[in-house]
A and B are shown apart, each in its own frame.
Chain A
Amino acid sequence: MVFNTGAALLDAIVLAVVSKEKEGTYGYKITQDVRQAIEVSESTLYPVLRRLQKDGCLEVYDMECGGRNRRYYKITDSGSAQLDLYRTEWETYSSKITMLFSGGELA
């Protein structure tokens, strides 16, 4: 990929991935889902998830699954609010860039 993904955009992508699963999702699956959009290494997402958890955007709970505990991540209300903010920002940002690329005038 030519373009860099900054920390805020990565947060937004992770929040979006987690918010798709109403019952929550887990680290391995989050990584695979994020990888559908951008290249990340297996070790990238732990610090991101941990930070979002500390910031109160994600909550963590353990659930029994196949005889062992699986750690689930679920988006919180403030996480959803943050994601909405990111979505709005992204909409503005990306549409301006798209406009420039396509040679149009900015409104």
Chain B
Amino acid sequence: MRKEEFMRQLETLLADISEEERQEALAYYRSYFEDAGEENEERILRELESPEKVAATIKADLKVDSRKDAGAFTERGYEDERFTKSSQDLEIKEKPSQKKGWSGSDADENRTLKIALIVVIAAVTSPIWLSLLAGIASFIVGAAGLAFGFIAAAIGLYIAGGVLFGIGIGQFAVGSVAVGFGLVGAAMFVWAVAILITVLSVWLCGKGIPWLCRGVESLWKKVFPGKEKAI
């Protein structure tokens, strides 16, 4: 990149600051290149890295006037939190305005652009997220089925226990006492299992399913990290 190109890009990047600040900054860097001489031009361009970085440095200082929160010089060079955080945003935001030049309605156009972008992305990735949604839906239905199965099993076991208990009592009266004890014992065991399953299904409905939902949610976030923020 030549210095003319650099200055032109810097001017475009500074389109959103006041006329006075822009002219000041441009005058400084124009003069800087001239004072450095052509033999130093390449080195300076390399050290300035990019018009985006220079523009971000200028804007970072305009935004926060107090020098207390400003950056510091470290062994890795100048470090400024405001700048490192916003440099990526700046680059993304400023690419479109570079083409638009001096138009004032950047915000509106950016909005429309973003919505269009979301629609396009949604359409292109539909095979992925549709099958993902279907997978999650079937997962939830499966979990509900499981819970229903548990409840049905518990009810069945209660009834079976009742029947065994009835027959056992009958055996006390008409048959052998030993068989009666055996059957009543079996009935107790069946009830115990039924109670266990009841507790399990209550837990499943109260905690297990919400836990599964949260699991699915966090999985979703892992697959699409920071989707909302990125768009």
Which residue numbers of A lie inside 8 Å of B, CB to CB?
1-2, 4-8, 10-11, 26-29, 31, 38-44, 46-47, 49-51, 68-71
Contacts and interface: CB of A to CB of B under 8 A. Distances in A.
B67 A46 contact: no
Interface of B: 21, 24-25, 27-29, 31-32, 34-36, 44, 47-49, 53-54, 57-58, 60-61, 65, 67-68, 70-75, 77-78
Decide if the interface of chain A is mainly helix, strand, loop or mixed: mixed
Contacts of A7: 67-68, 70-72
B73 A42 contact: no
Contact of A44 (B25, B35, B57): B57
Decide if the interface of chain B is mainly helix, strand, loop or mixed: helix
A50 B61 contact: yes
Contacts of A44: 57, 73, 78
A27 B61 contact: no
Contact of B78 (A11, A29, A41): A41
A39 B28 contact: no
Contacts of A70: 31, 34-35
Given A11-B67, A51-B61, A70-B31, 10 more contacts: A2-B75, A4-B72, A5-B72, A7-B68, A7-B70, A39-B77, A44-B73, A49-B28, A51-B65, A51-B67
A10 B53 CA distance: 20
Contacts of B29: 46
